[in-house]
Structure 1
Amino acid sequence: MDDGIRVRVASVGEAEAMADIHTRARSAYYLAGGAVEEVSDDAGVCTEREAAWGRAIASAGLTALCVEVRGGGMVGVLAMGAPKDADVDASVYRQLFQIHVHPDFWGRGVGGALHEAFAGRLVAGGFTGGVLEAWEGNPRARGFYARRGWREDGDRRPGPRDVDYVRMRLRVG
């Protein structure tokens, strides 16, 4: 992109940087939502996040993307793949498992670029919809998705501090 934001497929060896962005973003939004005990930069938790990003990068069934900004390195990450819930048709939908943007880059178009890449991959793959879960205590994320056409579908599951995760769907094409 000509604005200094470049979305690309993540490569082997970038899992540690991706886990760091994930941890920083997660900590910021849980703190903002009042869930202090959910914030953890414990070495074991960080090691597991790094391993999970490594699996996502290596998996044939998942796509891991990252964003680089001119002069700033990697500042955002995304993971997507087949939906995990049995009631979501995998021939129609792909799940957006995660978008994380380093908090220093919130509001600078990084998340939007990742979302655009997700939607583009849906269309290119012949899918007509996306599905995701957002923590109800994170109004920033829920607003971000709502502005891009995502709507809650009524499905919920328990989350931290008795605040649910809500499932949202997007129609494309």
Structure 2
Amino acid sequence: MLAELHARSRAAYYGAGGHDVPAVPDDQYREAWRKMVLDPRLEVLVAVVGADITGVLTLDANGVFPTNAPNETRVRLVGIFVDPSNWSSGIGSTLMDRFLTTTRHADAVGEVDVWERNSRAIRFYKHHGWTRDGTTRPGPANTNYVGFVHLP
């Protein structure tokens, strides 16, 4: 179920940025999600409406890790996804609140990478108080992922 949800969400946001990816996961994609759920370093939280999983939040479950900055710790937001049929319903904000509660309890900086053409996600992160940190890494379609942080 998580692989299917992620594939639908991913196809919608990549598609909006001009990069087509499948909206239905193959067996390899499903296996990658199975491994992620079983990975003890990750925490996967789901949002459920009725009997349907409508959103997922994945974070580094080892929680807090030190950085090179004195007295700074960070919590990595691996991903947050909502079924496109539930966009703008508050599910993403609820999941984000859960993540930010984790960072506040740890007195940590939140960090995440966002595909540069995903303008919807960038607006979402900015709305929730995230700011660009100046980092980038290569992404699909010759477009970088850009780093964002959320300060405690």
Q: Same fold (TM over 0.5)?
A: yes
SS in structure 1 opposite 2:129? coil
The gaps in structure 2 that reach 5 residues or longer are none
Q: Is the 8 A contact 1:57 1:64 kept in 2?
A: yes
Query: Equivalent residue of 2:35, what SS?
Result: helix
SS in 1 for 2:22: coil
Aligned length: 148
- Tell me how far apart the structure 1 counterparts of residues 116 and 128 of structure 2 sit (CA, whole Å): 17
State the distance in 2 between where 1:20 and 1:171 align.
32
CA contact (8 A) 2:8 2:24 kept: no
Query: Contact between 1:94 and 1:127, CA under 8 Å: does it hold in 2?
Result: no
Select the residue among 18, 24, 43 that pairs with 1:63: 43
Distance of 1:104 and 1:41 partners within structure 2? 13
**1:74 corresponds to 2:86:** no
Q: Does 1:110 align with 2:91?
A: yes
| Residue identity matched to 1:77 | V
Superposition misfits of 4+ residues, deviation over 3 angstroms: 86-89
The normalised TM-score by structure 2 is 0.87
1:30 aligns with 2:14: yes
Give me the identity figure in percent: 32
CA deviation digits over 1:80-109, x for unaligned, max 9? 00589x8689x6111101111000000000
Distance 1:147 1:66, change over 3 A: same
2:117 is aligned to 137
Q: Secondary structure in 2 aligned to 1:122?
A: helix
> Structure 1 length normalisation: TM-score?
0.77
Q: Decide whether the 8 Å contact of 2:115 with 2:146 is kept in 1.
A: yes
Give the secondary structure class of the aligned counterpart of 1:121: helix
Q: Name the SS of the counterpart of 2:101 in structure 1.
A: helix
Q: Does 1:47 align with 2:31?
A: no
- 2:10–2:23 CA contact under 8 A, matched in 1: no
Q: Distance in 2 between matches of 1:88 and 1:47?
A: 41
Partner residue in 1 for 2:82: 101
C-alpha distance after superposition, 1:132-161 (max 9, x if no partner): 000010000001001111111111112222
Cross-structure match for 1:155:
135
